[in-house]
């Protein structure tokens, strides 16, 4: 075990270190909670379709990371779900752009369940037959999401915001890409990315890190070095088009307004806090913009904003339903223009305090703590960094972010209209 | 849980749990679910959220919430059995962060619920018009989430002629019959005469005294809570299909059992549901998804107050009929042959797991105890778990026999 560090803030501690095998560990103690969770994160997501191993370049079908996630639950001898249930634990997994995560929650048998989790993630069992069978199931998953308006609107927006990064593609791939995946492809990707030094383990609840280490070290051994390099295109600051429209069987116009980060936006920690505070200041429910648009009937209570980011990208998304998304976007830009000359320092302090309260509130939930830390791990951050950084935010930084982030050149309006 | 009577018709349900770093107050106004009232109540909640005498519009309301370290507030309509509940929920950080937040939260709820913004005669025209339009749109929006829409349509058909079939968030065509004055008159009537339940979680017990004083309003409560109605099951299955522009076909099946919302039979129904479609270990999952590869997601769940079990999944359009047959086959098999080995144990463990995790979430705790209260079941979480543990294989087999497939609804 190396590099042990501990941080504490607002009653929440986080301990981080690296195990012999190379797995990065984050332990978040929650003494009074009965629920315990563990999440094993693999630094491999739907974006990672092209990579080099020891200098040799590979291009893999869209949806391979997600396919792997499905197939890891396959075991030659047992039903993994049954085994977890026997231990009174709930197991599940997800794949996003950057990561595949396997997690369970329980109230007892934590270390046994942890052993089971690490055991199945480090024991792939792919056969031609079980890989073939999974394809129909995954295709139904793809089709299910295709009927969800918010899903479709988001990927449409991404397709105009990003040109080089594969962010416009469904996490699960397409029907054709899924059909083209075979057992050998899964093993290639598994062996390239499912390596201890490419993983993190997050454990939250009333747990003992020494027992965690013992459990993991018995199962996960250090592997020989392998040089894996992910290949991404380089984005520029512009979008390919500022508007995209689609139709679905919906009741009204649904929209996403997206702003993407510039290439020069590299301090991800600061950007996350800055952008969240800024979005809340400008477009939150207590903003004069919200109230004005609501009164004019241009938005309803579904109006919301969020900032999503990883090491490679960052996007602000303003979403909701509107009688006229085009008019709303115009009003939004007009509003932003006016803000540049106003003194918003009081509002800045109020929203900063609110955001701080929201982080502390998250400490109430074992589930949220685990998920937030999983997302931060890939950015090499932890939950305490976020709070400390938030406290240090300066009003001048917000002013600057408002100017550099909300521009017409990096903006897309994605709309779904009724048929 | 401790019950403290504020006055006739208003009770505080205090949940002992001090580990959270937030406090919650949840105020429920109980109304019998009826077509006449449903739209009135749904619209009233939205208007109350948009302003009160003290905080005159959404901007002022939300600024006040932000000032309380970002208090989380919601006002929604909840359907519990054959009651329509106007629910107002606020969650604030504990006193360790700032003193007096709990009291501010209690006061805020009183402002919103009991001191609405009016001109004496009715709600303000401007707010009324906006919220009426928003509710119209909200009702139209039901179609956007296809799986929620399908659930609603299936319930509507399965509970035709029963109050439970009524939409609790209102009817489009009823909105134009309401004006700002008649709505305010209605709201005054219900606020004066309805049973109000206040659920709260706080670390500081002294807050309860304040809460009690805050909500002692000398109301004259007289509305009895209606008993739920269960309509006898029938033998013929009703089949509906709606064509839509969608990529995937979707199926929803309502199975009636006629089992009341509490007691041993209900516990057996929960176990049966878990076996059938409650988890990734369930029969539906292992047969429809794992064996036949027909779907990605399939699950079942129970509408507690109606003894209805609902099964939902998404499949290729051309596989809809085949899937329905397979599901019906699974139901028949469980009726005829009973449980497989280990199913009972796995199902009970699954249910107990979820019951145990309730106490780690403030909102789940409140929902559990509110549901228990409405169901007339005095059991706490522990007693409920004991009830599940007692369920025998015979109980489950008897319950399986009561299953009647009532309505099959699909979107294609």
pLDDT of residue B224: 58
pLDDT at B229 over 70: no
A206 vs B19, which has greater pLDDT?
A206
Q: What does the alpha-carbon distance between residue B20 and residue B22 come to, in Å, rounded to a whole number?
A: 5
Confidence label for B254 from pLDDT (cuts 50, 70 and 90): very high
How far is the alpha carbon of B285 from chain A, nearest alpha carbon, in Å?
11
Asked if residue B361 has pLDDT above 60, the reply is: yes
In the predicted structure, residue A213 carries a pLDDT above the cut 60:
yes
A321–chain B Cβ distance below 8 A for any pair = yes
Residue A286 contacts residue B65 (beta carbons within 8 Å): yes
B132 → chain A, closest CA residue? A297
Does B74 lie at the interface with A, CB-CB under 8 angstroms? no
B352 touching A, CB under 8 A? yes
pLDDT in tens, B109-146: 999 999 999 999 999 999 999 999 999 999 999 999 99
Question: Which chain A residues touch B246 with a CB distance below 8 Å?
Answer: 147, 249
Tell me the CA end-to-end span of chain B in Å, nearest whole number. Answer: 47
The Cα–Cα gap between B115 and B129 comes to 20
> Which whole number is the average pLDDT over B190-197?
92
pLDDT tens per residue, range A299-346: 999 999 999 998 888 999 999 999 999 999 999 999 999 999 999 999
C-alpha–C-alpha distance, residues A227 and A195, integer Å = 11
Kindly determine whether residue A35 and residue B360, on different chains, have CB atoms separated by under 8 Å: yes
Q: Is A264 on the interface with B (CB under 8 A)?
A: no
pLDDT value of position A262: 85
- What is the secondary structure of B102-129 as a DSSP string? HHHHHHHHHHHHHSB-B-SSSB-HHHHH
The DSSP annotation for A315-363 comes to EEEEEEE-S-HHHHHHHHHHHHHHHTTS--HHHHHHHHHHHHHHHHHHT
The tens digit of pLDDT for each residue in A68-114 reads 999 999 999 998 988 998 898 999 999 999 999 999 999 999 999 99
Contact A79/B at CB under 8 A: yes
User: How close B292 comes to chain A (CA, Å)?
Assistant: 9
Chain A residues with beta carbon closer than 8 angstroms to that of B146: 147-148, 249
Residue A6 pairs in a beta bridge with: A15
Q: Please provide the distance, in angstroms rounded to a whole number, between the alpha carbons at the two ends of chain A.
A: 59
Mean pLDDT of all residues in B86-98: 87
Q: pLDDT above 90 covers what percent of chain B?
A: 79
Q: Are A70 and A245 in contact (CB under 8 A)?
A: no
Q: How many CB atoms lie within 10 A of CB B380?
A: 15
A86–B65 C-beta distance less than 8 A: no
Q: What per-residue confidence (pLDDT) applies to A296?
A: 93
* Chain B residues with beta carbon closer than 8 angstroms to that of A299: none
Whole-angstrom CA distances from A273 to A266, A280, A332, A356, B242 are 13, 11, 21, 10, 46
A289 → chain B, closest CA residue: B59
Is residue B132 within 8 Å of B177, Cβ to Cβ?
no
State how far the Cα of A300 lies from the Cα of A306, in Å rounded to an integer: 17
DSSP, residue by residue, A136-156? HHHHHHHHHHHT-HHHHHHHH
A285 CB neighbours in chain B (<8 A) are 58, 62
Residue B54 has pLDDT above 80, yes or no: yes
Q: What are phi and psi of B176, to 5 degrees?
A: -75, -10
Chain A CB within 8 Å of residue B358 CB? no
Q: Counting one residue from A and one from B, how many pairs have CB atoms under 8 Å apart?
A: 159
Interatomic CA distance for residues B24 and A328, integer angstroms? 35
Per-residue pLDDT, B173: 95
Q: Higher pLDDT residue, B266 or A3?
A: B266
Q: Which of A85, A353, A354 sits opposite B349 (nearest CB)?
A: A85
Q: Residue B390 — pLDDT band, cuts 50, 70, 90?
A: very high
- How confident is the model at residue B218, as a pLDDT? 86
How close B232 gets to chain A, by Cα (Å)? Answer: 35
Closest residue on chain A to B136 (Cα): A251
Mean pLDDT score across all residues of chain B: 92
Tell me the chain B residues in contact with residue A137 when contact means C-beta distances shorter than 8 Å. 289, 293, 295-296
Give contacts of A 353-392 with B, CB under 8 A: 353-358, 360-361, 363-366
Please say if the pLDDT value at position A264 is more than 80.
no
Residue from the list A105, A287, A360 with its beta carbon closest to the beta carbon of B93: A360
Dihedral sign (CA A69, A71, A77, A83) = positive
Q: Distance, in angstroms, between A201 CA and closest chain B CA? A: 22
Nearest Cα residue to B263 out of B304, B221, B317: B304
Strand partners, A230: A51
Q: What CA–CA distance (Å, rounded) separates B93 from A355? A: 12
- Residue B310 predicted with pLDDT over 60: yes
- The ipTM of this complex is 0.85
Order across the sheet with A2-9: list the strands. A2-9, A12-18, A24-29, A199-205, A36-42, A100-106, A90-95
Q: What is the pLDDT of residues B275-284, one digit of tens each?
A: 999 988 899 9
User: How far does the CA of residue B361 sit from the closest CA of chain A (Å)?
Assistant: 7
Q: What's the mean pLDDT in A236-255?
A: 94
Q: Are B159 and B229 in contact (CB under 8 A)?
A: no
Residues 87-116 of chain A with CB under 8 A from chain B are: 88-90, 105-107
pLDDT in tens, A145-191: 999 999 999 999 999 999 888 898 999 999 999 999 999 999 999 99
The per-residue pLDDT for A394 is 94
Residue B100 has a CB neighbour count (10 Å cut-off) of 13
Residues of B in contact with A249 (CB under 8 A): 143, 146, 244-246
pLDDT score of B19? 84
pLDDT value at residue B225: 55
φ, ψ for residue B302, nearest 5 deg = -115, 135
> Quick one: pLDDT band at residue A361, thresholds 50, 70, 90?
confident
Looking at residue B307, its pLDDT comes to 92
Mean pLDDT of chain A: 94
Q: Which two tokens stand for residue A329?
A: 């976007």
């Amino acid at each position: 075990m190396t590099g042990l560090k501990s941080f504490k803030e607002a009653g929440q501690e986080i301990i981080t270190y690296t195990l012999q095998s190379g797995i990065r560990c984050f332990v978040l103690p929650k003494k009074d909670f009965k629920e315990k969770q563990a999440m094993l994160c693999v630094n491999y997501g739907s974006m990672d379709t092209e990579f080099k191993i020891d200098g040799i370049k590979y291009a893999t079908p869209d949806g391979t990371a997600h396919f792997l996630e499905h197939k890891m639950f396959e075991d030659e001898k047992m039903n993994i779900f049954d085994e977890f249930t026997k231990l009174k634990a709930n197991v599940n997994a997800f794949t996003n752009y950057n990561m595949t995560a396997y997690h369970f929650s329980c109230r007892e048998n934590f270390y046994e369940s942890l052993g089971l989790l690490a055991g199945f993630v480090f024991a792939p069992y792919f056969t031609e037959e079980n890989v073939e069978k999974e394809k129909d199931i995954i295709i139904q998953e793809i089709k299910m999401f295709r009927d969800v308006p918010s899903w479709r609107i988001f990927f449409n927006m991404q397709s105009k915001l990003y040109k080089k990064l594969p962010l416009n593609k469904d996490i699960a791939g397409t029907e054709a890409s899924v059909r083209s995946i075979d057992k050998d492809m899964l093993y290639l990707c598994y062996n390239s990315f499912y390596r201890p030094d490419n993983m993190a383990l997050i454990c939250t609840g009333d747990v003992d890190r020494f027992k965690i280490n013992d459990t993991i070290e018995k199962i996960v051994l250090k592997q020989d070095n392998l040089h894996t390099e992910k290949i991404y295109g380089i984005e520029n600051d512009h979008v390919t088009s500022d508007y995209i429209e689609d139709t679905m069987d919906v009741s009204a116009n649904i929209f996403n307004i997206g702003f993407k980060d510039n290439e020069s936006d590299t301090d991800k920690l600061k950007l996350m806090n800055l952008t969240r505070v800024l979005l809340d200041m400008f477009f939150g429910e207590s903003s004069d913009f919200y109230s004005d648009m609501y009164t004019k009937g241009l938005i309803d209570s579904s109006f919301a904003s969020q900032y999503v980011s990883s090491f490679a990208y960052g996007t602000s998304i303003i979403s909701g339903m509107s009688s006229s998304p085009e008019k709303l976007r115009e009003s939004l830009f007009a509003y932003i223009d006016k803000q540049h000359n106003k003194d918003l320092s009081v509002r800045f302090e109020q929203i900063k305090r609110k955001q701080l309260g929201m982080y502390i509130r998250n400490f109430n939930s074992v589930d949220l703590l685990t998920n937030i830390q999983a997302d931060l791990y890939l950015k090499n951050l932890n939950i305490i960094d976020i709070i400390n950084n938030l406290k240090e935010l300066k009003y001048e930084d917000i002013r600057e972010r408002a100017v550099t982030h909300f521009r017409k050149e990096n903006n897309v309006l994605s709309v779904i209209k009724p048929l | 849980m401790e019950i403290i009577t504020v006055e006739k018709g208003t009770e505080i349900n205090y949940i002992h749990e001090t580990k959270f770093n937030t406090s919650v107050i949840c105020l429920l106004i109980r109304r019998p679910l009826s077509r006449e009232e449903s739209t009135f109540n749904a619209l009233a909640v939205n208007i109350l959220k948009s302003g009160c005498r003290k905080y005159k519009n959404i901007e002022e309301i939300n600024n006040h919430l932000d000032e309380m370290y970002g208090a989380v507030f919601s006002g929604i309509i909840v359907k519990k059995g054959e009651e329509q509940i106007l629910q107002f929920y606020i969650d604030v950080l504990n006193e360790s962060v700032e003193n007096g937040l709990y009291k501010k939260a209690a006061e805020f709820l009183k402002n919103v619920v009991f001191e609405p913004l009016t001109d004496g005669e009715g709600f303000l025209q401007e707010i009324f018009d906006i919220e009426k339009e928003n509710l119209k749109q909200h009702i139209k929006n039901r179609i956007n989430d296809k799986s929620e829409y399908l659930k609603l349509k299936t319930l509507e058909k399965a509970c035709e002629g029963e109050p439970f079939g009524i939409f609790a968030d209102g009817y489009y065509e009823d909105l134009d019959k309401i004006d700002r004055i008649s709505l305010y008159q209605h709201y005054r009537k219900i606020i004066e005469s309805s049973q109000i339940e206040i659920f709260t979680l706080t670390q500081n017990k002294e807050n309860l005294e304040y809460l009690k004083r805050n909500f002692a309003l000398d109301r004259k409560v007289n509305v009895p809570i209606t008993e739920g109605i269960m309509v006898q099951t029938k033998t013929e299955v009703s089949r509906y299909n709606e064509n839509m522009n969608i990529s995937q076909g979707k199926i929803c099946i309502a199975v009636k059992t006629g089992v009341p919302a509490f007691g041993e039979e209900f516990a057996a129904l929960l176990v049966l549901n878990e076996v059938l479609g409650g988890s990734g270990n369930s029969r539906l999952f292992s047969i429809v998804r794992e064996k036949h590869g027909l779907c990605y997601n399939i699950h079942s769940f129970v509408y507690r107050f109606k003894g209805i079990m609902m099964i939902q999944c998404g499949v290729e359009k051309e596989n809809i009929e085949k899937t329905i047959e397979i599901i019906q086959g699974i139901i028949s098999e469980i009726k005829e042959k009973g449980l497989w080995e280990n199913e009972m144990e796995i199902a009970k463990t699954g249910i107990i797991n979820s019951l145990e995790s309730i106490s780690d979430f403030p909102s789940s705790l409140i929902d559990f105890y509110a549901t228990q209260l409405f169901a007339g079941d005095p059991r706490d979480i522990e007693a409920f778990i004991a009830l599940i543990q007692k369920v025998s294989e015979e109980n489950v087999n008897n319950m399986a026999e009561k299953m009647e497939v009532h309505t099959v609804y699909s979107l294609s």
